[in-house]
C-alpha cells in the first residue's frame, strides 16, 4: 500500500513539473495580465507585493503594485538569479533612476525618468565601471551627449542624438 501511495505521489510531482515547464513565467498569486494590468485569481487588480518566478524556481521579478500596475520599488532578475535591473514606478511608469546591471553586479547604465519619460543625465558604463556614454535628455528629447573612445570624449551629432529617442 505504501508503495502504491509513493508511486501515485511521484506521478503527481512529475506531472506538476511538466505543467510548470510549459509556461515561461509562473507566480505565487495565480494572476493574469490584461492590457498591462495584473489581476489576481478573483479577477481583481493586484495591490501589494507581486512576484513571478522562472522555470528554475528563481525569482524573476518582484514589484509593488497598486490597482494592478507597478507602483513602488521593483527588481528584475535573470534565469540564474542575478539582478538585471531595478527602479521605482508610479502608476506603471518608471520614475527616478532605473539601474541596469551586468551579470558581475556592476551598473551597466543609469536612466533617469520623470513622468515615465527620459529626463536628465543618462549614463552607460563598461563592465569595469568606466563611463562610456553620457546623454542629457529633456522630457524624452536628447539634447547633448558624448561617447568615450580611446580615452577621448567624442560629441554626438544631432543625427546620432535623435537615435537615442
| Domain boundaries along the sequence of the chain | 24-89, 92-165
Q: What angle do CA 83, 23, 41 make, to 5 degrees?
A: 95
Residue in this structure with the C-alpha cell 510531482, named with its chain if needed = 13
Cell numbers placing 39: 489581476
88 in Cβ contact with 95 (< 8 Å): yes
**pLDDT tens, N- to C-terminus, the chain (165 residues):** 333 332 333 333 333 333 333 333 345 556 666 666 776 666 778 788 888 888 888 888 898 888 888 899 999 999 888 999 999 999 989 999 999 999 999 999 999 999 899 999 999 999 999 999 999 999 999 999 999 999 999 999 999 999 988
Are 157 and 135 in contact, with CB atoms under 8 Å apart?
no
pLDDT given at position 8: 33
Helix or strand or coil: residue 98?
strand
pTM of the model: 0.73
Amino acid at each position: 500500500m505504501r508503495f502504491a501511495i509513493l508511486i501515485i505521489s511521484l506521478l503527481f510531482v512529475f506531472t506538476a513539473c511538466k505543467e510548470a515547464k510549459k509556461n515561461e513565467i509562473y507566480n505565487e498569486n495565480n494572476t493574469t495580465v490584461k492590457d498591462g494590468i495584473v489581476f489576481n485569481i478573483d479577477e481583481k487588480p493586484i495591490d501589494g507585493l507581486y512576484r513571478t518566478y522562472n522555470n528554475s524556481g528563481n525569482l524573476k521579478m518582484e514589484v509593488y503594485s497598486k490597482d494592478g500596475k507597478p507602483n513602488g520599488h521593483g527588481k528584475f532578475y535573470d534565469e540564474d538569479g542575478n539582478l538585471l535591473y531595478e527602479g521605482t514606478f508610479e502608476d506603471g511608469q518608471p520614475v527616478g533612476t532605473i539601474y541596469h546591471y551586468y551579470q558581475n553586479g556592476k551598473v551597466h547604465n543609469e536612466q533617469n525618468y520623470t513622468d515615465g519619460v527620459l529626463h536628465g543625465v543618462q549614463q552607460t558604463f563598461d563592465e569595469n565601471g568606466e563611463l562610456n556614454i553620457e546623454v542629457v535628455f529633456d522630457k524624452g528629447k536628447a539634447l547633448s551627449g558624448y561617447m568615450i573612445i580611446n580615452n577621448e570624449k567624442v560629441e554626438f551629432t544631432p543625427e546620432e542624438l535623435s537615435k537615442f529617442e
